[in-house]
Amino acid sequence: MDARVRLPLGLGEVAVWQALGLLAIVALFALYPVIDRNIGHVSAVADAGYFLLLVFGLNIVVGFAGLLDLGYAAFFAIGAYTYAMVASTQFNLHLNFWPMLIGSACVAALFGVILGFPTLRLRGDYLAIVTLGFGEIVPQVFLNLDKYTGGPNGISNVDQPVFFGHAFGFNPVPYYYLYLVVALISLVLLNNLRRSRLGRAWMAIREDELAATHMGVNPVTTKLLAFAMGASFAGLAGCIYAAKLTLISPDEFNFSVSVTILSAIVLGGMGSLLGAFIGGLLLALLNFMVLPQVTNWTHALGTALHNEAIQNADLHYIIYGLILVLVMLFRPEGLISNASRRAELHHGQPATSAAAAGVE
């Protein structure tokens, strides 16, 4: 069966069975709220949407351009606060959701450039720590500027979107479809970008910055574009997140959010768009469906056994920690990856001695 189908939107050619599989997956996602009538489930899967957008954005920065950003949650916060401040009772501004969707992305992208600029000359691990510092500073600033941001209480009564007269309200289904549409568009755009002039420039910077600049890649604009585009996804996610939840507070955007997103990318395979997608879906599933369920069970078990420790057990930290450690140790290329990359990452050395002499 070697008939091949050319997918639309520049997604390339695949075998027929792969195309059918893809169609089935898209159909499953499109019909999910019809199949599963449990509103709680739909809400959880919808939340996977913002998670996935964050994974896509961070994957540009970490996966494509090789810049380890540990403060990515800051841009999520900036996106959420941008929308919440202009579309709530906070200042009694009630700007429309749809233009603000783009507006939040732009504000986050702007901050991506501002915070990215000082890091341009830094080596990998120093860049990681500087971004981590930004990740600490930004939520703290939101916390402290309580005149504008509501301080520790955050901003409540955030406006919900209205689509041609249909108010979204608290029904998760429209949010689900909004996330689905945004995620699908993002996937197509990112796939195009990855195989473009800019995508190759990002990867060249990731592989060897010095060589890349000698081949004509401008390191400043290339890196800033990675920070800006990465941040814009977080801005989008933050905007929808704030609208769906209708309230936000500074402690939702801490370091563990950044680490959770990073785990998804590491699990899926750094640099691979498909990997980011699958890693993101798996961890979103874990985060929004499996772990809450496990917490319910352990709580019930602890109550039955009158054991407080089991009752209060919490596996989030342990599981994310284990994912990072085990994947890096035993499958550093992630779930989705190429065989050659696997060989290098496992042995820390190029496969052939000839290559060893050449690739530093």
Partner 1 sequence: MSAPLLAIEGLTKRFGGLTAVKELTMHVEAGSISSLIGPNGAGKSTVFNVITGIYVPTAGDIKLGGASIVGRKPHQVAAAGIMRTFQNIRLFAFMTVLENVMVGEQTRMHATPLDSALRTPRAQREERAVSERALELLDFVGLSAQSEQWARNLPYGMQRRLEIARALAPNPRVLLLDEPAAGANPVEKRELMALVRAIRDRGVTVVLIEHDMKLVMGISDRVTVLDYGEKISEGDPQSVRRDPRVIEAYLGKGA
Partner 2 sequence: MAIFLQQLINGIAQGGMYALIALGYTMVYGIVELINFAHGDVFTLGSFLCIAILALLGVSASGQIIAGWQGALIALLVVVLAALLCGVIGVLIERFAYRRLRNAPRLAPLITAIGVSFLLQGVMRNWKGPSEISFPQFLPNPTFAFGGVHIDLRELLVVIVSILMMVALQFFIYNTKLGKAMRASAQDRDAASLMGINVNTTIAWTFFIGSALAGVAGFISGMYFGTTMFTNGYQAGLKAFTAAVLGGIGNIAGAMLGGFLIGIVEAMTAQYISDQWTNVVVFSILVLILVLRPSGLLGEQLPEKV
Q: Give the single-character DSSP code of 10.
A: T
**Residue 6 burial by CB count (10 A; 0-12/13-18/19+): exposed, middle or buried?**
exposed
Chain position carrying tokens 């009564």: 157
Question: Least distance to partner 2 from the beta carbon of 200, Å?
Answer: 20
Show the beta-strand stretches assigned E in the chain. Answer: 4-6, 13-15, 87-88, 93-94, 162-163, 166-167
User: Which one of partner 1, partner 2, none is in contact with 122 (Cβ closer than 5 to 8 A by kind)?
Assistant: partner 2
Nearer to partner 2, 136 or 247 (CB): 136
- By CB under 8 A, is residue 301 in contact with partner 2? no
Angle at 244 between CA 46 and CA 26, to 5 degrees: 25
- By CB under 8 A, is residue 119 in contact with partner 2? yes
Contact between 232 and 57 under an 8 Å Cβ cutoff? The reply is yes
Binding mask 191-230 for partner 2 (x = CB under 8 A): -------------------x--------------------
Question: Least distance to partner 1 from the beta carbon of 245, Å?
Answer: 29
Closest CA to 287 of 315, 310, 248, 266: 315
Q: How many residues bind partner 1 (CB under 8 A)?
A: 43
Residues in the chain: 360
Nearer to partner 1, 28 or 211 (CB): 211
- By CB under 8 A, is residue 144 in contact with partner 2? yes
Dist. CA 316–CA 291, nearest whole Å? 7
- By CB under 8 A, is residue 230 in contact with partner 1? no
- By CB under 8 A, is residue 140 in contact with partner 2? yes
Neighbours of 259 (CB within 10 A): 19
Question: Least distance to partner 1 from the beta carbon of 92, Å?
Answer: 35
Nearer to partner 1, 104 or 191 (CB): 191
Contact between 42 and 29 under an 8 Å Cβ cutoff? The reply is no
Piece of the chain touching partner 2 by CB under 8 A; list 26-34, 42-50, 132-140, 156-164 = 132-140
Choice from 193, 289, 324, 335 touching partner 1 (CB under 8 A): 193
Closest CA to 261 of 275, 280, 242: 280
- By CB under 8 A, is residue 181 in contact with partner 1? no
Angle at 118 between CA 116 and CA 120, to 5 degrees: 70
Question: Least distance to partner 2 from the beta carbon of 128, Å?
Answer: 6
Angle at 349 between CA 346 and CA 355, to 5 degrees: 135
Residues in 141-180 at the binding interface with partner 1, rule: CB under 8 A: none
Nearer to partner 1, 41 or 200 (CB): 200
Closest CA to 72 of 247, 236, 230, 221: 230
Choice from 16, 20, 25, 355 touching partner 1 (CB under 8 A): 355
Dist. CA 242–CA 247, nearest whole Å? 6
Bridge partners (DSSP) listed for residue 4: 15
Choice from 80, 132, 243, 276 touching partner 2 (CB under 8 A): 132
Nearer to partner 1, 66 or 161 (CB): 66
Tokens of 10: 């520049």
- By CB under 8 A, is residue 212 in contact with partner 1? yes
Dist. CA 207–CA 349, nearest whole Å? 15
Tokens of 71: 């403060």
Choice from 113, 120, 184, 219 touching partner 1 (CB under 8 A): 219
Query: Contact residues for partner 2 (CB under 8 A)?
Result: 66, 68, 70, 118-119, 121-122, 124-126, 128-130, 132-134, 136-137, 140-141, 143-144, 210, 255-256, 259, 262, 266, 308-309, 312-326, 328-329, 332, 345, 348-349
Query: Contact residues for partner 1 (CB under 8 A)?
Result: 9-10, 189-190, 192-193, 195-201, 203-204, 207-208, 210-219, 225, 229, 271, 338, 340-341, 344, 350-352, 354-355, 357-360
